[in-house]
Amino acid sequence: MILQDVTRFLRACLECSVYLAPREPGLTQEEIHEACKRAEFLQGEISDALSQIAVQSFGRQGARQLPDQSVTALWLVFQMQQDPEYRNIQAFDFVYAQCNEAIRNQGGANAQIEREVVVQRAMAQNISRRDAEAAITILVLTNSLVEKNGYLRSVSGRQYLPLPSQQRSQMVIAGQGRRDEVRERAYLIVQDIVERRTDGRPKHAEPHDAFAEALEPLGYGPFRLWWVQTVAELRQSNVQTAPVSALVLAAALVEGALTFVVKHARSLQLAVFRSKDFDGEPRTWKIDDLVASAASGSEASIS
């Protein structure tokens, strides 16, 4: 795997975040690492890739990252047809036309239009809210529009001519049409990450990473560092050359995970962990008893 592959995937992820969450575009550092790990890139590769690309901070306290304008400017090159194409050309045409009309009515120096008005008008034309918002966000990110207090105005004060669809029909750059599998994969991964922001699922899809987030609600927050470090050691261990080490680490995680869920399971009166063995302090529990009790309880059992 070469560094160029990682940076290409990372840039695709940041771009796709705009199409999927146009009002909250970009990815946090945590989300970037999550996306890259799902694409099976390793920690060192991810860190090296992040140091190679220029990004700009976006959102509250600059929590999310986006490519700088040297990259985002390419998102407005409509002659370059992409496959898959996540830009809704009809949405861009509509936003351009609305800005043109505002300039015609108010003059370039004074022209402005409320963002929500543009979105509602687009929706009336069967353009989805997300596509309309994405078009507006890209125009703002590329410094074609300025947004202030919910109003949009043109930076140049000139009409946008020609429309994106006209640009595409007049000249399409040769050699396009090859499907970009990296971009397609990035879109699906980022889509899931964006959905996890609000749907109640853990931020991480990988169980080891997701369980680390659950330790605080379970009342074992101080053990998060131990869990994360042990998981990292297990991932770095080589089962072929050091099988005993990998086995010990895996067993430690199993024992830890079962210990951390006993109190929660008993509070819910689940059939697992009902044994009196767990009435005492956790330091007295044995892994054999934990596994046996976790495997009992019929439908409540942990398989």
Q: What's the topology of domain 85-170?
A: Arc Repressor Mutant, subunit A (1.10.10)
* Whole-number pLDDT of residue 158: 66
Name which of 15-24, 153-162, 290-299 the model is least confident about: 153-162
* Whole-number pLDDT of residue 175: 47
- Strands of the chain (E only): list them: 27-28, 55-58, 64-67, 113-114, 145-148, 151-154
What is the model's pTM?
Answer: 0.77
* Whole-number pLDDT of residue 114: 94
- Tokens 């705009």 belong to 18
pLDDT digits (tens, 9 = 90+) for 221-248: 999 999 989 988 888 888 888 889 989 9
Bridge partners of residue 55, in order along the sequence: 67
Q: Shortest CA distance to 11 belongs to which of 55, 44, 41? A: 55
For the residues 86-112, what does the mean pLDDT come to?
Answer: 90
| Residue 61 reports pLDDT greater than 70 | no
**CATH 1.10.10.10 residue spans of the chain:** 85-170
Rounded to a whole number of angstroms, the CA Rg of the chain reads 26
- Tokens 């690492």 belong to 33
| Residue 296 reports pLDDT greater than 50 | yes
* Whole-number pLDDT of residue 62: 63
pLDDT digits (tens, 9 = 90+) for 135-182: 999 999 988 899 999 999 888 776 665 688 887 776 655 545 578 899
| Residue 26 reports pLDDT greater than 90 | yes
* Whole-number pLDDT of residue 74: 86
What percentage of the chain carries pLDDT values higher than 90?
A: 38
